[in-house]
Structure 1
Amino acid sequence: MTIFTSNTSINKPINEVYGFLADFNNHQKLMPENIQEWVSTVDEASFNIQNMGKLSLKIDSRISDQEITITPASKPPFNLELKWSLSFDNDHTDVLYTINADLNMMMKMLASGPLQKLADYETQQLTAILS
């Protein structure tokens, strides 16, 4: 597994950050411009990645005010797990976003940069929206 991480700190209570992330409808606001045709419910989302293909994801598990795990809802080009981990420290919520991707050597060369940029972009957007 190849792991990509990004973290941020948000001056909001943990339940507010968790509430935003626990609803997949809100995740569209975290996505870059190359994500198109977004369709979502509270638990699932499907979308097209420009020049790459369609992806369907589902929230696999929720641990209230701690963690949200997202997995593919249909067969992806490679195994994938997305995880939002939250912790509260005094007056702010620390957020760690992790993308675990099972990439072969060729896919690793092609996808590592875009996946790290995606992780960083999503945490930056989360901070901008909730600040």
Structure 2
Amino acid sequence: MNLESPKVTLNKSAQETFDFLSDVKNFEALMPENISKFEVLENDKFLFALKGMPEIVLKKKEATPPNKIVLGAAGGKLDFSLTGNITEVDANTSEVQLTFEGEFNAMMAMMIKGPISKFIETLATNMTTAV
């Protein structure tokens, strides 16, 4: 299953945006309002939970400055990745699009598609004020 957030334009350079997303503790500022838990576990790993959902641990798997950050599931039953693709528009402007990729059975995909789509859209939208 592949899902994409809308592209958001930020008044920050691609490098500034990359630096923000590289620091996992900054993801707390991007989380939806219904977050029930956020905890930095290591300098490249964090745990979060949304109300009514299980805890999810994400770990930074790949970083290609200043254009790409890949976070992946760290343990648990689901294997997926969340990629931030950063495009430089000009020296002081960048665009970001989040991509969620994971392999799920049809039933699981049907259940999580809506909530995951909304989640990555919220993360992207919150970047416009948090970064």
* Same-fold call, TM cutoff 0.5: yes
Tell me which residue corresponds to 1:4: 3
Tell me which residue corresponds to 2:16: 16
Q: SS at 1:32's partner residue?
A: coil
Please list, as runs of the form range in 1=range in 2, the aligned pairs for 1:49-88 lying within 5 A after superposition.
Answer: 49-76=50-77, 78-88=78-88
Please list, as runs of the form range in 1=range in 2, the aligned pairs for 1:32-51 lying within 5 A after superposition.
Answer: 32-40=32-40, 41-51=42-52
Q: How many residue pairs align between the two structures?
A: 128
Distance, in Å, in 1 between the alignment partners of 2:43 and 2:15 is: 17
Distance, in Å, in 2 between the alignment partners of 1:103 and 1:118 is: 17
Does structure 2 conserve the Cα–Cα contact (< 8 Å) formed by 1:67 and 1:86?
yes
Instruction: Give the letter aligned to residue 86 of structure 1.
Output: I
TM-score normalised by the chain length of structure 1: 0.90
Distance, in Å, in 1 between the alignment partners of 2:66 and 2:130 is: 18
Distance, in Å, in 2 between the alignment partners of 1:75 and 1:13 is: 35
Deviation at 1:15, TM superposition (A): 1.2
Deviation at 1:118, TM superposition (A): 0.7
Distance, in Å, in 1 between the alignment partners of 2:121 and 2:53 is: 20
TM-score normalised by the chain length of structure 2: 0.90
Q: Which moved more, 1:87-96 or 1:119-128?
A: 87-96
Sequence identity (%) = 25
Does structure 2 conserve the Cα–Cα contact (< 8 Å) formed by 1:22 and 1:42?
no
Distance, in Å, in 2 between the alignment partners of 1:53 and 1:11 is: 34
Distance, in Å, in 2 between the alignment partners of 1:73 and 1:113 is: 22
Distance, in Å, in 2 between the alignment partners of 1:74 and 1:34 is: 23
Instruction: Give the letter aligned to residue 97 of structure 2.
Output: L
Name structure 1 gaps, 5 residues minimum.
Answer: none
Instruction: Give the letter aligned to residue 10 of structure 2.
Output: I
Deviation at 1:47, TM superposition (A): 2.1
Q: Which moved more, 1:22-31 or 1:39-48?
A: 39-48
Superposition CA RMSD, Å: 1.3
Distance, in Å, in 2 between the alignment partners of 1:88 and 1:94 is: 6
